[in-house]
Amino acid sequence: MDFKNLVETTVYKTLKSLKPFDLKTGLTSQRIIDASIPAGGRLFYNWATMPIGSEHLELLAQLAEEQQLVDKYQALVSGAIMNTGERRMVLHHLTRGNLLLGNQTVIADGEDKLAFYQEQLHRIEAFSKAVRDGNITGSTGKQIKTVVQIGIGGSDLGPRALYQALKGWCVHKNIDILEARFISNVDPDDPTDILTGLDFETTLFILVSKSGTTQETLTNQKFVLKAMRAQNIDGFNPASHVIAVTSKTSPLAKSNAVLDSFYIDDYIGGRYSSTSAVGAVVLSLAFGFDTFKRLLSGAHEADVNALEKDICKNAALLDALIGVYLRNVLQLPCTAVLPYAQALSRFPAHLQQLDMESNGKRVNRDGKLLNYPTGPVIFGEPGTNGQHSFYQHLHQGTDTIPIQFIGFLDSQRQNDVVTDGSTSQEKLIANLIAQIVAFACGKIDDNPNKQFPGNRYSSLLYAKRLTPETLGALLAHFENKVMFQGFIWNVNSFDQEGVQLGKTLAGKILSGGNSDEVLKAYIELFSRLK
Question: Which residue among the candidates 222, 393, 503, 520 is catalytic per the annotation?
Answer: 503
Q: Rounded to the nearest whole angstrom, what is the least distance from the CB of residue 243 to a copy of itself in the complex?
A: 20
Nearest CA to 395 out of 428, 445, 436 is that of: 436
- Of 14 and 342, nearer to a copy of itself (C-beta) is 342
Residue at 301: amino acid letter: E
Q: Rounded to the nearest whole angstrom, what is the least distance from the CB of residue 440 to a copy of itself in the complex?
A: 8
- Of 115 and 377, nearer to a copy of itself (C-beta) is 377
Question: Which residue among the candidates 216, 301, 357, 479 is catalytic per the annotation?
Answer: 357
**Cα–Cα distance, 491 to 84 (Å, whole number):** 9
Q: Rounded to the nearest whole angstrom, what is the least distance from the CB of residue 269 to a copy of itself in the complex?
A: 11
> Is 388 labeled as catalytic in the residue annotation?
yes
Q: Rounded to the nearest whole angstrom, what is the least distance from the CB of residue 130 to a copy of itself in the complex?
A: 27
> Is 469 labeled as catalytic in the residue annotation?
no
Could you say which DSSP state residue 154 is in? G
> Is 524 labeled as catalytic in the residue annotation?
no
Are the C-beta atoms of 280 and 124 separated by less than 8 Å? yes
- Of 79 and 191, nearer to a copy of itself (C-beta) is 191
Q: Count of alpha carbons within 13 Å of 367, Cβ hemisphere only?
A: 4
**Cα–Cα distance, 244 to 263 (Å, whole number):** 8
Residue at 241: amino acid letter: H
Coil, strand, or helix at residue 148? strand
DSSP per-residue string spanning 413-453: S----EETTEEHHHHHHHHHHHHHHHHHH-B--SSGGG-B-
Q: Rounded to the nearest whole angstrom, what is the least distance from the CB of residue 144 to a copy of itself in the complex?
A: 19
- Of 70 and 320, nearer to a copy of itself (C-beta) is 320
Nearest CA to 148 out of 197, 189, 187, 198 is that of: 198
**Cα–Cα distance, 436 to 404 (Å, whole number):** 10
- Of 320 and 338, nearer to a copy of itself (C-beta) is 338
Beta-carbon neighbour count of residue 30 at 10 Å?
9
Question: Which residue among the candidates 13, 388, 517, 530 is catalytic per the annotation?
Answer: 388
The residues annotated as belonging to the active site are 357, 388, 503
